[in-house]
Amino acid sequence: MAFSQRKIEYKTNGQILKMREAGLVLAEALDEAVAAAQIGVTTAHLDAVFASVLERHGATSNFKGYYDFPANICASVNDQVVHGFPSEYVLADGDVLKIDGGAIIDGWHADSARTVIVGEADPADQRLSDITQEAMWRGIAALAEARFVGQIGDAIDDFVSEVPGEPLGILEDYVGHGIGSAMHQAPDVLNYRTGHRGPRVKPGMCLAIEPMLVRGGLETKVLEDDWTVVTVDGARASQWEHSVAVHLGGIWVLTAHDGGAAGLAPFGVVPSPILP
């Protein structure tokens, strides 16, 4: 019996340029939301700051209204891994905040996330965020030479499993994804090593690469709001994400201001912008 697979959407250079427009607006919106994430500020305020940047540029959020999601960003604090609602929660010293947001311009999507530690960081939390961020960049760097999508997860897993010190866990229930004319598309982009190589990497493929790491166990649960994902053991979590395009000239990080130049430099990878 044959099983059908979700079709991958391959973009033209012109469509990737539209995604880049959305990615730059998103990067600016995340910059301002991160800057506003201070002790005493509510996560609802961060949502408003983010939304104001999108409005200023004529972009729309791809989160708000997505399966009735009520906000422009996901704001997940401490043991909340992902999909947390912005609320009247007041940020406190040492909180580990994940801000995940998206933007649409002319029907083309961008998706990106950052971890912010509010006030003075617990060194173990800072290490968690730093390793998660580097894991993301290692996955993106692997894409530059990858033949198959599964090599992204291989690179992330190999790095995280070999980091000295306290072991960190890679969540397996939540993974990256294709992105383009919709926020979530084929293929799934795993953050861990499996026996499956995944689809072949081809020009026109755009992927959201987003490892999520935890300081404790891998078991999670969804709260009664049917969205917020938390660790069962209360361990803190980190998430970092960028949207990346593959084209004939190489790769281009669509949601990084510099196209990924600084993040990829340690791995000897130079991003290749598409000229209009």
Domain locations along the chain: 13-267
Instruction: Tell me whether residue 225 is annotated as binding.
Output: no
CA–CA dist 130, 127 (Å, integer) = 5
Across 2-16, 156-170, 260-274, least confident range:
2-16
Angstrom distances, CA of residue 22 to CA of 38, 58, 70, 155, 199: 26, 10, 21, 27, 26
What pLDDT score was predicted for residue 6? 81
| pLDDT band at 5; cut points 50, 70, 90 | low
The mean per-residue pLDDT over the stretch 189-213 comes to 96
Q: Work out the mean pLDDT of the chain and round it to a whole number.
A: 96
CA nearest neighbour of 24 among 103, 85, 86, 131? 103
* Listed residue (168, 65, 73, 162) closest to 111, CA to CA: 73
Cα torsion at 90, 237, 83, 73 (round to 10°)?
60
257 is in an annotated binding site: no
Quote the Cα angle for 108-242-195, to 5°: 105
Average pLDDT over residues 199-209: 98
At 3, the pLDDT band (50, 70, 90 cuts) reads very low
Task: Tell me what pLDDT residue 147 has.
Answer: 98
Q: What is the pLDDT of residues 244-260, one digit of tens each?
A: 999 999 999 999 999 99
Domain 13-267 in CATH 3.90.230.10: yes
Q: Is the pTM of this model over 0.75?
A: yes
For residue 167, say if its preceding peptide bond is cis, omega within 30 degrees of 0: no
| Angle between helical axes of 13-36 and 43-56 (0-180°, round to 10) | 140
- Reported as a pLDDT band with limits 50, 70 and 90, residue 276 is confident
Report whether 183 contacts 62 (CB < 8 A): yes
Q: Using CA atoms, how far apart are residues 174 and 81, in angstroms rounded to an integer?
A: 10
Token pair recorded at residue 160: 């995280």
Is it the case that residue 4 has pLDDT exceeding 50?
Answer: no
Q: Is 83 annotated as a binding residue?
A: yes
Write out pLDDT tens, residues 12-59: 999 999 999 999 999 999 999 999 999 999 999 999 999 999 999 999
How far apart, in whole angstroms, are the C-alpha atoms of residue 267 and residue 150? 19
Percentage, residues of the chain above pLDDT 90: 96
Would you say residue 2 has pLDDT above 50? no
Q: How far apart are CA 170 and CA 156, in angstroms?
A: 9
Residue 122 CB contacts under 8 Å (≥ 6 apart), including other chains: 94
